[in-house]
Amino acid sequence: MLGWAGAAGLAWLTPFSRMLAREAEEAPRGRPARSLILLWMAGGPSQLETFDPHAGKRIAAGTTSIRTSMKGVEFGAGMIQTAGWMDRMTLVRSVMSKEADHERAVYAMKTGYRPSQTVVHPSIGAVVCHQLEDAGMDIPRHISIVPGGSPARGGYLGAEFDAFQVRDPKGPIQDIHQPAMGLRMDRRMEDLTVLERSFARGRPADLETGRTVHRASMERALRMMGSEQLTAFDLDRVPESEKAAYGDSAFGRGCLAALRLIEAGVRCVEVTLDGWDTHVNNHGLQGEKIRVMDPAFAALMRDLEVRGLMESTVVMCGGEFGRTPKLNPLEGRDHWPYGFSVMLAGGGFRRGHLKGSTDPEGESREPGEPVTVADVHATIQRALGIDPERELKTPVGRPLALSEGRVIGDLLGG
């Protein structure tokens, strides 16, 4: 909801923003969300320095904590701005994965399935775009900003559901401008049409339109190049005061771009902050990442709230696993899939809710109230109005459910 801003405070927003904000004010609570923002902490952030500190305990190794806006919940000392939003978010401290290798764990966290030799599963963003109706978008509905080496993929749903990859929004977005204009472009398209007819012979085409996948992709690209919706990428249109709140970083600019893209109608935006794999100098390196993540995360939450987009957008913040309770000889923390933290907020998720707990002594690999990676996916899908038990057929005819997890009901509602 708009909270302190109110309907009277919407004059500075775009017309589309004002429409969305009024819809959020007037709509009954409980309507499924329609968009997803995934803040991907690549490498595996330490729960002990972020969302699950055990200050004063041996496993903290000197890490201190601060109070949050939710009574009894503390964050790592560097999470100053994000701590103010805990009373409007759901924190799961007991996520369990069966994967401790980076590549396999990234696959599991992004798809909700363990890697398989027989099928490539779609990422959560691809599922969202496949299941929710097209909002009449000219630009891609699935976007990955500063994706690193593991961009979200469409899997068995097809390459059309792969995330459109964007580098740091500080500069021009690559590959979105027409290579020619006017008559020159028209002649190029005529020549391409001749080649396309030859290319299409013997290749499968859509039964309704007769277009090959290549032709459909080309038409989507041309439509995007001429679309006004591309202005969502243009951060030069944003006042400096707004940009400053997110921090001077690729991740901060990515979060601001994600806000604008969701506002424009994009279904899923993934923004990556790499560098959390701290096998050496854990405290120093985690601190560097936290200083980038904290202001951007908090600013995104604030602007989603002000623009009336919080109830229609699910936000997930997490990485492929956590870090070990014990420091290694190099003052680092190693991989830990046995109870790590994922933050959830926005449409459908409870405000001010804590789920699960970890051993303050760091001895147990069994957290309290464990939640599997698949459970996280099933619950996000339910929040978006998607039935996680729905089965789709892979290209070879194998039926697969959208998720093999269970919906964690106490994370939703309220």
Tell me the pLDDT of the chain (414 aa) as tens digits: 333 333 333 333 444 444 444 444 444 455 799 999 999 999 999 999 999 999 999 999 999 999 999 999 999 999 999 999 999 999 999 999 999 999 999 999 999 999 999 999 999 999 999 999 876 777 889 999 999 888 899 999 999 999 999 999 987 776 666 665 667 766 766 666 766 676 666 656 555 555 556 566 655 665 655 567 778 888 999 999 999 999 999 999 999 999 999 999 999 999 999 999 999 999 999 999 999 999 999 999 999 999 999 999 999 999 999 999 999 999 999 999 999 999 999 999 999 999 999 999 999 999 999 999 999 999 999 999 999 999 999 999 999 999 999 999 999 985
Q: Does any domain span residue 101?
A: yes
Q: Does any domain span residue 116?
A: yes
Tell me the sheet residues that pair with 271.
39, 145
Contact at 8 Å (CB) between 321 and 340?
A: yes
The CATH number for 393's domain is 3.40.720.10
Where is the domain boundary, 193, 225, 257?
A: 225
- Would you state the pLDDT for residue 214? 58
- Would you state the pLDDT for residue 149? 85
Range of the domain at 25: 7-173+241-411
Judge if 70 and 145 occupy the same domain: yes
The first and second tokens of residue 48, run together, are: 């002990």
Judge if 169 and 188 occupy the same domain: no
Region of residue 369 (left: phi > 0; alpha: psi -120 to 50; beta: else): left
Judge if 167 and 186 occupy the same domain: no
Judge if 301 and 199 occupy the same domain: no
Judge if 220 and 357 occupy the same domain: no
Q: Does any domain span residue 1?
A: no
Judge if 345 and 258 occupy the same domain: yes
Please state, in angstroms and rounded to a whole number, the distance separating the CA atoms of residues 152 and 262: 17
Q: What H or E segment, with its residue span, contains residue 291? A: helix 282-306
- Among residues 68, 2, 110, 36, the alpha carbon closest in space to that of 262 is found at 36
- Among residues 62, 73, 3, the alpha carbon closest in space to that of 343 is found at 73
Judge if 196 and 151 occupy the same domain: no
Q: Does any domain span residue 389?
A: yes
Q: Does any domain span residue 236?
A: no
Judge if 247 and 387 occupy the same domain: yes
Judge if 195 and 293 occupy the same domain: no
What's the structural domain count of the chain? Answer: 2
Judge if 108 and 65 occupy the same domain: yes
Judge if 169 and 183 occupy the same domain: no
Judge if 363 and 404 occupy the same domain: yes
- Among residues 163, 165, 164, 161, the alpha carbon closest in space to that of 127 is found at 161
